[in-house]
């Protein structure tokens, strides 16, 4: 239309010309004021891992490592969540708040389980979920609940061995793939470089470990799987007295650092929630020889892989 106007004879009736200009102006005005091209603001959740954050027990109280056990702060690579819920207050029962997300589940292994093949992984300071604020029920929310499903991290381990008459005693770094959801169906999973085939469901506390070490010029690549003590995975819930979490779940609870998350439905920009997870001595084992080192080759069992607290901050 514009190119046509440029070629209109200069003797065109002024009334018609003015009408065309007005029509074009109206069209331009509609385009600028329309909302179809305006992005909807989102509620965004970002994971961070903090080894200095307070180590808590299942009731949200500061916790030390029990006598006879040892623990370390693992270096996290990725994590995955299964469920996200906003709770208005401390009396809101699990599932009665505003549920924002629930990961895919399957019965391929028998009982209902998280479908790990469809889980989304995220790393430190990475977004793990977002939803248009227009899809979140308006209201005030005091607590955030996040059910964790999977963690992948590096740990330090110790081993002793004798090769060709030479005794080796050294520390090295390995990778743990831990499954902390209530039940997880695994066809297979990658630890670091090695794939473990399972084709079954595994209860909370199942883990795989991969180590790659060089000893006297020889390379040794090994994998090991195991199960932490039943019911031992710590799940922090500071409102356990008024809103308990079922045993075997991994629904971690946190307030919004003393503030309420307010959703009005009239937001014009994103709301970002920083979800800081405490990894303070979160990898715990039975220290059979009391040396403070994890020695899987000597049968030291893993007893806890739970996140040791969660802080939710509105950015």
Note the pLDDT tens digit of each residue in 38-66.
Answer: 478 999 999 999 999 999 999 999 999 99
HSE-up (13 A, CA, CB side) for residue 26: 6
Same domain (yes/no): 15, 78: no
Same domain (yes/no): 26, 57: no
Residue of higher predicted confidence among 55 and 258: 55
Please tell me the distance from the alpha carbon of residue 189 to that of residue 195, in angstroms, as a whole number: 5
Would the pLDDT of 6 be above 70? Answer: no
DSSP class of 122 = B
Q: Yes or no: say if 88 and 310 are a contact pair by the CB < 8 Å rule.
A: no
Same domain (yes/no): 161, 255: yes
Which pLDDT belongs to residue 309? 97
> Considering only 11-15, 182-186, 304-308, which range has the smallest mean pLDDT?
11-15
Which pLDDT belongs to residue 47? 97
Helix (H) or strand (E) holding 28: helix 14-33
Overall average pLDDT of the 208-213 stretch: 95
Tell how far CA 72 is from the center of its chain: 20
Max Cα separation, the chain?
106
Overall average pLDDT of the 248-261 stretch: 92
Which pLDDT belongs to residue 28? 43
Paired tokens of 134: 């227009």
Model pTM?
Answer: 0.85
Same domain (yes/no): 6, 87: no
Instruction: Please give the residue range of the domain that contains residue 11.
Output: 2-33
> Considering only 113-127, 139-153, 224-238, 292-306, which range has the smallest mean pLDDT?
224-238
Overall average pLDDT of the 171-187 stretch: 96
Tell how far CA 301 is from the center of its chain: 25
Same domain (yes/no): 18, 122: no
Output the average pLDDT for the chain: 88
Same domain (yes/no): 27, 99: no
Same domain (yes/no): 205, 72: yes
| Percentage, residues of the chain above pLDDT 90 | 77
Same domain (yes/no): 29, 46: no
Same domain (yes/no): 13, 67: no
Same domain (yes/no): 135, 230: yes
Same domain (yes/no): 84, 27: no
Which pLDDT belongs to residue 210? 98
Would the pLDDT of 35 be above 60? Answer: no
Same domain (yes/no): 155, 297: yes
Overall average pLDDT of the 111-125 stretch: 96
User: Number of folded domains in the chain?
Assistant: 2
Residue of higher predicted confidence among 25 and 185: 185
């Amino acid at each position: 239309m514009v190119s046509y106007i440029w070629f209109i004879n200069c003797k065109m009736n002024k009334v018609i010309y003015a009408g065309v200009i007005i029509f074009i102006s109206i069209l331009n005005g509609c385009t600028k004021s329309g909302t179809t091209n305006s992005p909807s603001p989102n509620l965004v959740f970002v994971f961070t891992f903090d080894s200095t954050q307070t180590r808590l027990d299942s009731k949200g109280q500061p916790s030390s490592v029990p006598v006879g056990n040892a623990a370390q702060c693992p270096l996290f690579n990725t994590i995955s969540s299964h469920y996200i819920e906003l709770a208005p207050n401390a009396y809101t029962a699990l599932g009665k708040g505003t549920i924002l997300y629930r990961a895919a589940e399957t019965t391929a292994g028998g009982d209902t389980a998280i479908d790990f093949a469809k889980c989304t992984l995220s790393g430190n300071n990475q977004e793990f979920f977002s939803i248009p604020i227009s899809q979140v029920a308006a209201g005030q929310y005091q607590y955030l609940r996040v059910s964790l499903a999977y963690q992948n991290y590096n740990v330090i381990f110790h081993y002793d061995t004798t090769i060709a008459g030479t005794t080796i005693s050294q520390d090295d770094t390995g990778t743990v793939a831990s499954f902390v959801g209530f039940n997880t169906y695994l066809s297979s999973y990658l630890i670091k470089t090695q794939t473990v085939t399972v084709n079954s469901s595994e209860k909370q506390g199942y883990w795989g470990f991969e180590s790659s070490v060089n000893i006297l010029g020889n390379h040794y690549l090994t994998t090991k799987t195991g199960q932490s003590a039943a019911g031992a995975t710590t799940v922090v819930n500071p409102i356990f007295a008024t809103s308990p979490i079922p045993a075997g779940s991994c629904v971690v609870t946190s307030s919004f650092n003393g503030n309420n998350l307010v959703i009005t439905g009239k937001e014009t920009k994103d709301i970002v929630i920083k979800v800081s997870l405490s990894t303070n001595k979160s990898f715990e084992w039975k220290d059979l020889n009391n040396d403070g080192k994890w020695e899987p080759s000597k049968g030291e069992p893993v007893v806890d892989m739970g996140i040791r607290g969660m802080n939710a901050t509105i950015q």
